[in-house]
Amino acid sequence: MNPETIREIAKALEPLANKLGTTAQAAFGWAVRDAVITGWQCVAWASFLFLLAAVVITGGVVMGRKDNDRGWIALGGIIGALLIFVCAGILTSGLGCLLNPEWHAVQSLLGVVK
């Protein structure tokens, strides 16, 4: 970060520091840990949705072959694909929190100030 950006962030966080008093120094550490926890929660949800998508797709194929109906296969495929798209979005957010928790911590603290 360039020095001007750091000064802008420090200026924006000053009202929050005044409100928190002596706990202001610990607030950034708490926000970083919160970002890491949020990242792992997103990874867990994405894993669950991916497994659910696999079950839905497999169920659609099994039901379609059992009933000799392609409608089940299409339904399972469409719902499974939608779940995988949602999974990808959640996983992207979670990995962002895990790879750069400091940025997410600054964003959450700036959100408190506004």
* Tens-digit pLDDT profile for residues 95-111: 999 999 988 888 887 77
* Integer Cα distance of 99 and 32 in angstroms: 11
Torsion of CA 58, 61, 64, 69, to 10 degrees: 140
* Integer Cα distance of 56 and 49 in angstroms: 10
Q: What is the pTM of this model?
A: 0.72
pLDDT for 114:
63
Residues 6+ apart with CB under 8 A from 114: none
User: Which residues in the chain come in under a pLDDT of 70?
Assistant: 1, 16, 20-25, 113-114
109: tokens are: 């603290």
How many domains is the chain partitioned into structurally?
A: 1
- CA dihedral over 18, 19, 20, 24, signed as positive or negative: negative
What SS3 state is found at 69?
Answer: coil
User: Can you give the residue range of the structural domain that contains 66?
Assistant: 3-113
